[in-house]
Amino acid sequence: MGLATLRTRAVIGVEAPLIQVEVHLAGGLPNMTIVGMAETAVKESRDRVRSALINSQFEFPASRITVNLAPADLPKGGGRYDLAIALGILVASGQIPAESIRATEVMGELSLSGELRPVHGALPAAMAAREAGHELLLPAANAEELALLPDCTAIAADHLLTLCGHLRGQAPLSPVVCARPDNPQPLPDMADIRGQPQARRALEVAAAGGHNLLFFGPPGTGKTLLASRLPGILPGLTDAQALEVAAIQSISGQPVRWGERPFRSPHHTCSGVALVGGGSVPRPGEITLAHNGVLFLDELTEFQRATLDVLREPLESGEIHIARAARQTRFPARFQLVAAMNPTPGGYHASDPRSQQYSPEQLRRYLNRLSGPFLDRLDLYVEVPAVPPEVLQTRRQSEASATIRQRVQAAWDRQQARQGCQNRDLGSAQLGELDMTAPAERQLLIELSERLGLSARAQHRIERVALTLADLAGTPTIERAHIMEALNLRQLDRLGIG
């Protein structure tokens, strides 16, 4: 009897480790066994593969069939191994030539009729196959994802019979051609915002330096509207960044939107696992889905305090490590955080007469829903006051996103030329090495920090914001005006926690 070996890919985090599918046909009572730490969905492929082969006019061997998925210590789940098992049986039984799958990788789920169904994580698997120099066989429904990847040899088919016709040389299929969409969807524009000059300025500064931002103010003042405009003033993604975002969307089973910065806005009832990722089989959370984009947390104080505190490490490191008993998984999570909240439980400022029903203790409990270490990781705190009716009714449009994006791009270019990263990513040692703060301005920063009781982290964040303001102004050093504006954009005292 025969033996066949094929290659496929699992999906662990954003990685796609190689899996060897070994199929052995032996004498004995007809039976099919799948070994190699296969979960229930994989073991159920026995019935799917049998029906798919019979309904595709192939002979299902009346033999003892053993399928081994190696390495045996790596968990395998889902229906992504169906196609590899089916082709392995056909090769082992001599129904298709072994040479046809010698330098290929295979993945896909089978229906009972033999149709190929799409799988999650096709893009990371294709990237790994390209690096290994292998051709990839997969369902036609995944072809759109693979078209984003240049220099990748992939064959897509919609039915098992069609794919086997290609492998036999009877009806060759054309490789998937690289074709990236060049018509991105229009983003919300800053021209729609009426008034709020300081909030608009804060949004521009946040975009220019990658800083985390908190808006606070009464309901209906435009906090959510402002946050939704941030992706529109951020520079476009590089090809490498766009591939990272597309790979994350692929493993999450979400539509791949090429070249668009993600904007995620989870509800305040979401759990810590939903936010950072996890589960028995680790899945990416909202912070990973927002990688290279924006994570917007509306009604910040309604989130559980423990849920917000799990963001503290990813905000610093730009990634999240999820540890389980069997293995560890790393997900990228370099996102920009924008949050919005009301200053009091009733929504209005503490000095507003409508807030007099709340005692100082109630107000303190409300603000204590946010921990100090979490707040310390935010760079900008800006009040968004109510807009006068005459400003709302004006017909004169505000500055458009395209104009602001040009200034932001110029600031990004200065940062890349000077230090190779955004200002938010500068460590304290790198800030000292740049030495862009004159002695007089540095002494001013020290005096203000002592007077306001700022932590070392807060001092460094103010200095980074001042550096971003200098980049926006095009000045070679941090000036006094930049330090004062950076402090003015940190309105903790207006929030009642300064």
CATH code of the domain covering residue 307: 3.40.50.300
Q: Residue 185 falls within a domain, yes or no?
A: no
Q: Are residues 200 and 156 in the same domain?
A: no
Q: Are residues 216 and 155 in the same domain?
A: no
Q: Are residues 334 and 481 in the same domain?
A: yes
pLDDT the model gives residue 385: 87
Instruction: Give mean pLDDT, residues 325-350.
Output: 85
Average per-residue pLDDT in the chain?
88
Q: How confident is the model at residue 497 (pLDDT cuts 50, 70, 90)?
A: low
Q: Are residues 128 and 206 in the same domain?
A: no
pLDDT tens digits for range 304-328: 999 999 999 999 888 898 877 667 7
pLDDT tens digits for range 219-254: 888 899 999 999 999 998 998 999 999 999 999 888
Q: Residue 372 falls within a domain, yes or no?
A: yes
Q: How confident is the model at residue 28 (pLDDT cuts 50, 70, 90)?
A: confident
Q: Are residues 267 and 325 in the same domain?
A: yes
Q: Residue 479 falls within a domain, yes or no?
A: yes
pLDDT tens digits for range 345-368: 887 777 777 777 888 888 888 888
Kindly tell me if the per-residue pLDDT of 290 is higher than 80: yes
Cα–Cα distance measured from residue 388 to residue 385, given in angstroms and rounded to the nearest whole number: 9
Q: Are residues 133 and 199 in the same domain?
A: no
> 136 versus 493: which is more confidently predicted?
136
pLDDT the model gives residue 430: 83
- Which tokens go with 220? 């209906």
Q: Residue 316 falls within a domain, yes or no?
A: yes
Kindly tell me if the per-residue pLDDT of 498 is higher than 60: no
The residue among 167, 182, 215 that closes a domain is 167
pLDDT the model gives residue 440: 82
Kindly tell me if the per-residue pLDDT of 343 is higher than 90: no
Q: Could you give the count of Cα atoms lying within 13 Å of 417 in the half-sphere of its Cβ? A: 8
Q: How many domains are contained in the chain?
A: 2
Kindly tell me if the per-residue pLDDT of 183 is higher than 70: no
Kindly tell me if the per-residue pLDDT of 295 is higher than 60: yes
What is the CATH number for 143?
3.30.230.10
Instruction: Give mean pLDDT, residues 45-73.
Output: 93
Instruction: Give mean pLDDT, residues 156-171.
Output: 93
Q: Could you give the count of Cα atoms lying within 13 Å of 99 in the half-sphere of its Cβ? A: 2
Q: Are residues 112 and 200 in the same domain?
A: no
pLDDT tens digits for range 459-469: 888 889 999 99
pLDDT the model gives residue 191: 86
Which of 92-106, 171-185, 328-342, 417-431 shows the lowest per-residue confidence on average (mean pLDDT)? 171-185
pLDDT tens digits for range 370-397: 888 898 889 999 999 888 877 777 767 7
Which residue range is the domain that position 489 belongs to? Answer: 190-495
- Which tokens go with 261? 């910065």
For tokens 């290994």, what's the residue? 132
Q: Residue 82 falls within a domain, yes or no?
A: yes
Residue 136's contacts (CB-CB under 8 Å, 6 or more residues apart) are: 104, 105, 106, 107, 125, 126, 129, 146, 152, 153, 154, 155
Q: How confident is the model at residue 8 (pLDDT cuts 50, 70, 90)?
A: very high
pLDDT the model gives residue 447: 84
Q: Are residues 209 and 109 in the same domain?
A: no
Q: Are residues 197 and 155 in the same domain?
A: no
pLDDT the model gives residue 77: 87
* Percentage of the chain exceeding pLDDT 70: 97
The residue among 107, 132, 167 that closes a domain is 167
Q: Residue 436 falls within a domain, yes or no?
A: yes
Q: Are residues 114 and 232 in the same domain?
A: no
Task: Tell me how many degrees the CA angle 345-493-299 measures, rounded to the nearest 5.
Answer: 35
* Percentage of the chain exceeding pLDDT 90: 50
pLDDT the model gives residue 18: 94
Q: Residue 176 falls within a domain, yes or no?
A: no
Kindly tell me if the per-residue pLDDT of 330 is higher than 90: no
Q: How confident is the model at residue 344 (pLDDT cuts 50, 70, 90)?
A: confident
For tokens 């033996």, what's the residue? 3
Kindly tell me if the per-residue pLDDT of 92 is higher than 90: yes
The residue among 118, 152, 167 that closes a domain is 167
pLDDT tens digits for range 115-148: 999 999 899 999 999 999 999 999 999 998 888 8
pLDDT the model gives residue 1: 56
Q: Are residues 78 and 28 in the same domain?
A: yes
Q: Residue 174 falls within a domain, yes or no?
A: no
Q: Are residues 200 and 63 in the same domain?
A: no
Cα–Cα distance measured from residue 285 to residue 11, given in angstroms and rounded to the nearest whole number: 16
